[in-house]
Amino acid sequence: MLSTTPTLARAALAAALAATAAAIVARWRRRRRWLAAARRYPQELLCDPRIQRSLVPYPSAATATTLARLTGLATRKVRKTARGARAGRCARPWNGEASATSRRGSFAKRRHYYFMFHKPLGCVTQRDASGRATTVFDVLPDGFPELGPVGRLDKDTTGLMVLGKTERALTDLSGQFFERTVNRRYWALVWGDVLEDGTVTGHVGRSVRDRRVQQVYADGSEGKHAVTHYRVVERLGPVTLVECKLETGRTHQIRVHMQSIGHPLFGDPTYGGNVAVKGAPGGKYNAFLRNMFAALPRQALHAKTLGFTHPTSGKRMDFQSELPEDMAGVLSKWRTYVEAASV
């Protein structure tokens, strides 16, 4: 009887160790699945409260830091790291331009469940792997909770974004973006005379030659389905101001779709819009274009309209924003140029 007691104790200890090891392996596998999903579907998972609740009960510093860089989202429970920093919250990396007041964002509308935010030029909506890029959180007014923006805009694209204030609002708004019920309209200045309104349909995916840019695959062999509707707002000789409505939200969708039909965005250095595509070549015209490109050293794209259903009341909400100074100034100069050329 005495000899069986140590055996039972060893068996119980072995069972407990096995259970602990199984739990650790399960948590590790769950962590790997969530991180892989966050890398692949950052927009859909950006505001998912399960990232906060179900990643791991007490995330390690490495996991929390990686998740924060991927999504810009703070985990619910945090742990002190060796340096005393709080794992799970987005560290605000040093950037020489991050503190400039001219780049500080502003709120278009404050509500209990959401904020409408004017995204300024030069900041990204998701933190990159290096952690040095200026993000939306770096330009938000002080005191805003780091819960994460809904939707995405390119670094050099300005305009309206919605940011949820509560987990319920974040989940609901993120679902509307995923179900494509959000009304998103952009104003873009494109090269060429757009003759009529139209629709561009074509799969958008990474280019096989340069993985940093996107490409339209008309045969659907690569990429994801994408649809862009556009209508003419104003014709300005060599360029045209158009309004684009998105049915899908692919990376660089408007820029690559308009480039595929021969109308790249004015000033877009990635898709060939920063050279003279239309217009009579000459010394004065070339000098005029150089001034325009210096005044707008980016793609002429602005998220002007954003509409969605209120997370709690169910009412339809629609917001509009004014064009930024650089884009409005270029449009004014193009109008002056067209008027002078017609005299």
Q: Which two tokens stand for residue 252?
A: 């660089």
264 by Cβ neighbours in 10 Å (0-12 / 13-18 / 19+) ranks as buried
Asked if 154 is an active-site residue, the reply is yes
Determine the Cα–Cα distance for residues 42 and 114; give it in Å rounded to an integer: 20
Q: Residue 284 carries which DSSP code?
A: H
Q: Residue 50 carries which DSSP code?
A: H
For residue 256, the cross-strand partners are: none
Are the C-beta atoms of 257 and 226 separated by less than 8 Å? yes
Determine the Cα–Cα distance for residues 263 and 240; give it in Å rounded to an integer: 9
Catalytic pick among 48, 138, 142, 154: 154
User: What are residue 22's phi and psi, to 5 degrees?
Assistant: -65, -40
Helix/strand/coil for 115: strand
Residues classed as catalytic: 154
